Homo-oligomer: A and B are copies of this chain.
Amino acid sequence: MMQCWKGFYNCWFSKKKAFANKIYRITGMRPRELALYELAFRHSSLVTDSRCSAQECNERLEFLGDSILSAAVSEFLFKKYPSKNEGFLTEMRSKIVNRARLNELGFKLGLDAILRYNKKLGSFNRSICGNALEALIGAIYLDLGYRAAQYFIIHKMINIYLNLDELETQNHNYKSQLMEFAQKHKIEPIIYEVVEETFAGNIKEFTVACIIQDKVMGLGKDTKKKVAEQKASEMALLKLCS
């Protein structure tokens, strides 16, 4: 009996140790409260009883991690670009923390190998990985604090996987991306329509709708029609790809 318990304990202990090592390899920091990280990698598809889903999957940690990520990236950009205005900083932040980028980073960090989800409930959705990355940030924050989460974001994500100079000059041409997507999936025509013109002081602002096959798929507002079209295309792309 004693032998049996010892075997069970050893097995359990070595599993925990292996998991802690994986977290260390990803984050560069030794986890204290391992249960937080286990939760971060537990997708909601594993929850059977919806009444207690809140504590049993990573969605709450994802909620927290999402805003910690945004705060850390904002501070990083604020300090890196002391002479750039708020518009530039906002654009750079959205280039770093958009859904597609987080999914990609989640894969690059190898989170898909640790993630636990119900494989019976359909194919693997890429966004599960991006969500788990946010949940991991939430777990690091709760376990080791704001500076540790910031360290992970800057030194294990941004500095390793992102080329900021490239991002800076990269023009997010959502309109052409959308055009490409629509042609590929045969969902044309795409029409852009100015649905509103407003004045903020002396400055005119346009609200442009992106209409695909007679359905409004995106809205964008800006002082320049072209930028409003880009924003509307971004929203439409997000909808089509989500």
Contact = CB atoms under 8 A, between A and B. Distances in A.
A53 B216 contact: no
A239 B206 CA distance: 12
Interface in A44-85: 53-55, 59-60, 62-64, 66-68, 70-71, 73-75, 78, 82-85
A165 interface: no
A123 B70 CA distance: 33
Given A122-B201, A209-B216, A219-B219, A86 B60 contact: yes
B60 A89 contact: yes
Interface residues on A, range: 35 or more
Nearest to A235: B219
B74 A86 contact: no
Nearest to A82: B55
Interface string A203-232: 000010100000111110100000000000
A113 interface: no
Interface in A115-143: 121-122, 141
B74 A64 contact: yes
B196 A217 contact: yes
Contact of A86 (B63, B200, B209): B63
Query: How many copies are assembled?
Result: 2
Contacts of A216: 195, 209, 216, 219
B60 A239 contact: no
Contact of A64 (B75, B122, B209, B219): B75
A242 to B, nearest CB: 8
A98 interface: no
Interface in A168-190: none
A62 B86 contact: yes
B68 A85 contact: no
Contact of A70 (B54, B70, B121): B70
Nearest to A200: B242
Given A60-B89, A221-B239, 6 more contacts: A55-B83, A59-B86, A67-B73, A75-B141, A195-B215, A216-B216
A202 to B, nearest CB: 8
A146 interface: yes
A85 B59 contact: yes
B122 A54 contact: no
